[in-house]
């Protein structure tokens, strides 16, 4: 989050103070009613801000519950935003991915690489990749173990992105390990 300059904050406080003073003076006859209405609107605003802030977490929780995994077969429902999301265990730790059939390989965010137990200080970002946001540097890594449901792969090659990414990408180098990859009726199906 970006720091708000003190002069901007002071300006907002003075502006809010002037607005509150005007409301009190203008509505002094029905002040109790106005305070109740202001409190109700404040609660509505706080609720909307909380819902907006937690939306991604709620969406991912619902999606993970709807994923069906059984005996080498995985079915993933399409999310409301049109993407498919999966949670894989990487070196024993949970990492969330967006499925990206346009990505060549598995690309980890720096925080997900750290979560998977990789030492970021030892990585060499000497590869380059062209993304929708332009050219980025990447570091090649090998993940000892990657697990999706009951499917376990060992020594999976991946890249750690040096730039900003909202979420790690699960690209074709991993997806082509499956015998069947199909998207139909709003579901992604993978099978070995």
Whether the full predicted model's pTM is greater than 0.85, yes or no, is no
Tell whether the model's pLDDT for residue 118 goes beyond 80. Answer: yes
- Per the prediction, the chain carries an average pLDDT of 83
Neighbours of 162 (CB within 10 A): 17
Tell whether the model's pLDDT for residue 187 goes beyond 50. Answer: yes
Determine the pLDDT at residue 1: 46
Tell whether the model's pLDDT for residue 60 goes beyond 60. Answer: no
Question: What is the DSSP code (8-state) at residue 180?
Answer: E
In this prediction, residue 56 has a pLDDT band, given cuts at 50, 70 and 90, of low
**Structure tokens, 178:** 């499956």
Tell whether the model's pLDDT for residue 172 goes beyond 90. Answer: yes
CA distance 29 to 38: 15
CB 174 within 8 A of CB 156: yes
Cα atoms in the Cβ-side hemisphere of radius 13 Å centred on 156: 29
CA 157 → CA 42, 46, 173, 191, distances in Å?
50, 44, 8, 20
Phi then psi dihedrals of residue 65, to 5 deg:
-70, -30
List the single range of 35-44, 58-67, 114-123, 148-157 with lowest mean pLDDT. Answer: 58-67
């Amino acid at each position: 989050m970006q720091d708000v300059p003190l002069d901007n904050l002071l300006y907002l406080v003075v502006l809010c103070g002037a607005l509150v003073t005007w409301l009190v003076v203008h509505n002094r006859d029905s002040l109790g009613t106005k305070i109740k209405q202001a409190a109700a609107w404040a609660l509505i605003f706080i609720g909307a801000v909380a819902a907006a802030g937690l939306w991604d977490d709620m969406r991912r929780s619902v999606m993970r519950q709807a994923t069906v995994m059984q005996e080498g077969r995985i079915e993933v429902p399409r999310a409301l935003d049109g993407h498919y999301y999966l949670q894989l265990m990487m070196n024993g730790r949970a990492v969330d991915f967006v499925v990206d059939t346009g990505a060549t390989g598995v690309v980890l965010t720096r925080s997900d690489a750290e979560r998977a137990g990789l030492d970021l200080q030892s990585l060499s970002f000497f590869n380059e990749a062209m993304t929708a946001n332009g050219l980025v540097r990447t570091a090649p890594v090998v993940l000892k173990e990657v697990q999706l449901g009951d499917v376990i792969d060992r020594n999976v090659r991946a890249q750690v992105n040096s730039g900003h990414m909202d979420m790690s990408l699960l690209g074709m180098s991993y997806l082509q390990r499956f015998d069947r990859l199909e998207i139909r009726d709003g579901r992604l199906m993978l099978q070995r």
